[in-house]
Amino acid sequence: MHEDTNIFASLVSRRKISYGNLRFASYYEDHMVLQKSPERALLWGCGPLGEQVTVYVQGPNTQQTLATVSDESGMWRVMLAPVEAGGPYNITAALTNLQNTYVTLVDVLFGDVWLCSGQSNMFFKVLGLVNASGELALASKYPHVRFFMVGLVQKDTELLDLTKVDISWSVPNEKNLASFSALCWLFGRYLYNTLQYPIGLVESSWGGTPVEAWSSHSALRKCGLDNPDENSTGPISNSVLWNAMIHPLLNLTIKGAIWYQGESNADYHRDLYNCTFPAMIDSWRMGFHEGSGGQTAIQFPFGFVQLSTYKRHSTDDGFPEIRWHQTADYGFVPNPRMMNTFMAVAMDLPDETSPYGTIHPRYKEDVAYRLTLGAKALAYNYSLTFHGPFPDHILPQKLYVNLTFDQQLSVTPSTDIFEICCSASISCGPRANWVSAPIITWDQTTIQLSTESCPDQVAAVRYAWTDWPCDFKACPVYGSNTSLPAPPFVIMLQKPTG
């Protein structure tokens, strides 16, 4: 990692977090949430070269830790002993050999810290929700769900610390919550309802940006995109948001991350997204694990939103292909390429009358709820089903195809959402002969599709392979016990029997 040793000179001093040459890093502030036990929170900052810094933690439990300011970087770092969820705490960093030189953070809580990132649907504010007034009225009831927002900055080299903060760590109220990410907030609030201990939310997102901008050079190199001039200038350029808005956070111990992005890759490096997205996740996981001194899990839970809808009646394959590539072409997660990941399907949550454009649906509550199910299962070991039904066995016959799913179904008849590829070969790309396969019948776990419209061999079956496959919560296939939609899929078949 590149370290900008002069970064601290550009930081704006803040009340109670800097005194002379001694300070905490930018995102350690009053009212923040630090990661609770069993993980250990890492604190860092800068100070006079060679001086010793003592960090005191005062609250329900107390501790103190000694560090030395590096002569090379001017940084000090301490790893706290594990702290159980709760608070409040005051945390003071003091120069050991110089009296009255100290900085203090007040009202610090310990809980779980989640990073929220992506493009405009993660950037979408609480004020934009359909029920914005009702959601904002609830803010004061959640004083233990705290939030922080990284400022919009792009850099060509990796920064050590943030150079801009848009929202300092805040206790929620109707005014300050309005400008925070709706999805991030709802996810944190729903988690708090279950866990009943502090949740810290760190938002770092930028509208209209591709995955390449959020990826390190090493991650892009794995996908053949190691040319720094591969895309245009600005916040869409390779690695510029990783450098300025993710890399500076790596020392922060976190519980997990959620992600809402992909729209910008529907027509940019679309065919590489099945590589670039998993590679980005791998890179983030390694970066946070190493940056936190091993305290952030090397396979920390990573949740994402599968793309919603954009254009009704569109014949463009951009959105359906990105949905598929978001799963590394498995159709479901977790999978062997994307371990410990969870997904919220959103293709059944369109918003045709959104004043922010159909690409920005306002119904983030359902998306957050579906993400929370995945987090509860993977991050908190709840025994629950967190994904919709997916076919685990397909039997092609002469006049029909039977699809058997991995859970019980709730089915509504449809004539066009299932399609079959009619081909004498096993080549079924986007321009192949895809025709509708109406649902004939179904039972608790099986759907039978008609193949009468296919004069040739049925080579593949796909589901919901359009930009706008169904109306609001009205797709044909849901889990009967979960009410979660089946995700889109395309599955190649063996030669049918007669």
Question: What are the pLDDT digits (tens) for 316-332?
Answer: 889 999 999 999 999 99
The pairing of strands 102-118 and 199-205 is: parallel
425: tokens are 């070969």
Provide Rg for the chain, Cα atoms: 25
Q: Is residue 462 pLDDT above 60, yes or no? A: yes
* Residue 2 included in any domain: no
Give the total number of structural domains in the chain: 3
Are 248 and 157 in a shared domain? yes
Domain end residue (candidates: 108, 127, 144): 108
Residue 242 CA to residue 218 CA, distance in Å, equals 11
Residue 318 CA to residue 21 CA, distance in Å, equals 51
Which range (96-100, 191-195, 241-245, 378-382) has the least confidence? 96-100
What pLDDT is attached to residue 96?
A: 86
Query: What is the residue range of 340's domain?
Result: 110-378
What pLDDT is attached to residue 428?
A: 81
pTM for the predicted model, two decimal places: 0.93
Cβ contact 159:240 at 8 Å: no
Are 356 and 462 in a shared domain? no
Q: Which of 111, 115, 113 is nearest to 83 (CA)?
A: 111
Q: Is residue 15 pLDDT above 90, yes or no? A: no
What pLDDT is attached to residue 493?
A: 83
Residue 451 CA to residue 438 CA, distance in Å, equals 8
Are 241 and 321 in a shared domain? yes
Number of Cα atoms under 13 Å in the Cβ half of residue 95: 19
| 68-89 per-position pLDDT tens digit | 998 788 999 999 999 999 999 9
Residue 75 CA to residue 244 CA, distance in Å, equals 18
Domain end residue (candidates: 59, 82, 108): 108
Mean of pLDDT over the chain: 92
Q: Is residue 431 pLDDT above 80, yes or no? A: no
Residue 474 CA to residue 205 CA, distance in Å, equals 30
Are 242 and 314 in a shared domain? yes
Which range (68-72, 80-84, 140-144, 260-264) has the least confidence? 68-72
Q: Is residue 20 pLDDT above 60, yes or no? A: no
- Whichever domain contains 14, its CATH number is 2.60.40.10
Are 56 and 168 in a shared domain? no
What pLDDT is attached to residue 135?
A: 97
- Whichever domain contains 263, its CATH number is 3.40.50.1110
What pLDDT is attached to residue 273?
A: 98
Taking residues 150-177, what's their average pLDDT?
A: 97
Are 138 and 84 in a shared domain? no
* Residue 305 included in any domain: yes
Are 196 and 74 in a shared domain? no
Q: Evaluate the CA torsion angle 149, 151, 152, 155 in order and state its sign.
A: negative
Q: Is residue 475 pLDDT above 90, yes or no? A: yes
* Residue 386 included in any domain: no
* Residue 361 included in any domain: yes
The strand order across the sheet containing 434-436 reads: 434-436, 418-422, 458-463, 489-492
Which range (195-204, 218-227, 261-270, 359-368) has the least confidence? 218-227
* Residue 20 included in any domain: yes
Taking residues 225-231, what's their average pLDDT?
A: 67
Are 92 and 117 in a shared domain? no
* 324-361 burial: b if 16+ Cβ within 10 Å, else e: bbbbbebbbbbeebbbbbbbbbbbbbbbeebeeebbbb
| 36-58 per-position pLDDT tens digit | 999 999 999 999 998 999 999 99
What pLDDT is attached to residue 119?
A: 98
Are 205 and 76 in a shared domain? no
* Residue 1 included in any domain: no
* Residue 383 included in any domain: no
Cβ contact 394:404 at 8 Å: yes
**What three-state secondary structure class fits 23?**
strand
Domain end residue (candidates: 378, 401, 433): 378
Are 65 and 114 in a shared domain? no
Residue 103 CA to residue 64 CA, distance in Å, equals 14
The DSSP line for 145-175 is EEEEEE-----SS--SS-S-EEEEEE---HH
The DSSP line for 223-290 is TT---TTSS-SSTTSTTHHIIIIIGGGTTS--SEEEEE--GGGSSSSGGGHHHHHHHHHHHHHHHHHH
Taking residues 192-220, what's their average pLDDT?
A: 97
With residue 458 as reference, give the H or E element that holds it: strand 458-463
Are 132 and 212 in a shared domain? yes
459: tokens are 């080579």
Taking residues 90-95, what's their average pLDDT?
A: 96
Backbone angles phi, psi at 432, to 5 degrees: -70, 175
What pLDDT is attached to residue 226?
A: 75
Q: Is residue 335 pLDDT above 80, yes or no? A: yes
Are 259 and 154 in a shared domain? yes
* Residue 85 included in any domain: yes
What pLDDT is attached to residue 423?
A: 75
What pLDDT is attached to residue 278?
A: 98
What pLDDT is attached to residue 3?
A: 37
